[in-house]
Amino acid sequence: MPELLMVRGDITRRPVDAVVNAANSSLLGGGGVDGAIHRAAGPDLLHACRLLHGCKTGSAKATPGFRLPAKWIFHTVGPVWRGGNNGEPELLASCYRSCLDLAREHGAKSIAFPAISTGIYGYPKDQAAELAINTCRENAADIERVEFVCFDADTAEMYERLLVRG
Ligand code: AR6
């Protein structure tokens, strides 16, 4: 079983094998965590992303980490929240699973996730946290360490509570 833990702070600083980016389907950058990752990784990241020709919601694609401490960046596209009956939970679970699949393919033993879809895309934070933890518990058997990197106090508190509950 992997170690699942909450880490408070900026995902761009995490010394893990792979960090996950909550991108949009163009993969050409944006605000939120996507903007932070592009700024920290440097301009080579955008060049690499251009070669990927976008990404579907629920899928993920890999680039090197460039100037990040992480070796890899897995870019995934979360669903935009439209009330919850438009496949949002399935698509969000698919983001986490796709990134764990990429970790396996690339031999990444540690991975750091942001709270995908819970910023600009509006997914309710509590529902997203529960789904993220359950999906990683069920699909990360061969990964040593899964970090949930929380930028704000609300999100951190939710993950803390849910991870303790087990
Ligand atoms: N480290 C960790 N978490 C962060 C950081 C950071 N440096 N910065 C923000 N967060 P969002 P989304 C948290 O909006 O909802 C972009 O424009 C943030 O507090 O970044 O999936 C993309 O290009 C929140 O908890 O991603 C897309 O267009 C979480 O990361 C769109 O936003 C996700 O918030 C994707 O929206």
Closest ligand 1 atom to the C-alpha of 118?
15
Q: From atom 3 of ligand 1, which residue's Cα is the shortest distance away?
A: 151
Q: From atom 24 of ligand 1, which residue's Cα is the shortest distance away?
A: 119
Confidence of residue 145 (pLDDT cuts 50, 70, 90): very high
Contact yes or no for 10/36 (Cβ under 8 A): yes
Closest ligand 1 atom to the C-alpha of 26?
23
Check pocket membership of 24 for ligand 1, CB cut-off 6 A. Answer: yes
Alpha helix ranges (H) inside 42-152? 44-50, 88-106, 125-139
pLDDT tens track for 48-102: 999 999 999 999 999 999 999 999 999 999 999 999 999 999 999 999 999 999 9
Within 8 A by CB and 6+ apart from 9, the residues are 149, 150, 151
Domain boundaries, the chain: 3-165
Residue whose C-alpha is closest to residue 4's, from 87, 111, 119? 111
Pocket probe for ligand 1: among 12, 73, 77, 151, the residue whose CB has the most ligand atoms within 8 Å is 151
Check pocket membership of 57 for ligand 1, CB cut-off 6 A. Answer: no
Overall average pLDDT of the 11-29 stretch: 98
pLDDT tens track for 121-134: 999 999 999 999 99
Overall average pLDDT of the 41-52 stretch: 98
Distance of alpha carbon 42 from alpha carbon 156, whole angstroms: 28
Q: Which residues pair with 6 in a beta bridge?
A: 148
- Is residue 105 over pLDDT 90? yes
Q: Up-side HSE of residue 46: CA atoms within 13 Å toward CB?
A: 10
Check pocket membership of 117 for ligand 1, CB cut-off 6 A. Answer: yes
Check pocket membership of 80 for ligand 1, CB cut-off 6 A. Answer: no
Average model confidence (pLDDT) for the chain? 97
Catalytic amino acids?
34
Topology (CATH level 3) of domain 3-165: Leucine Aminopeptidase, subunit E; domain 1 (3.40.220)
Distance of alpha carbon 125 from alpha carbon 110, whole angstroms: 23
Contact yes or no for 135/41 (Cβ under 8 A): no
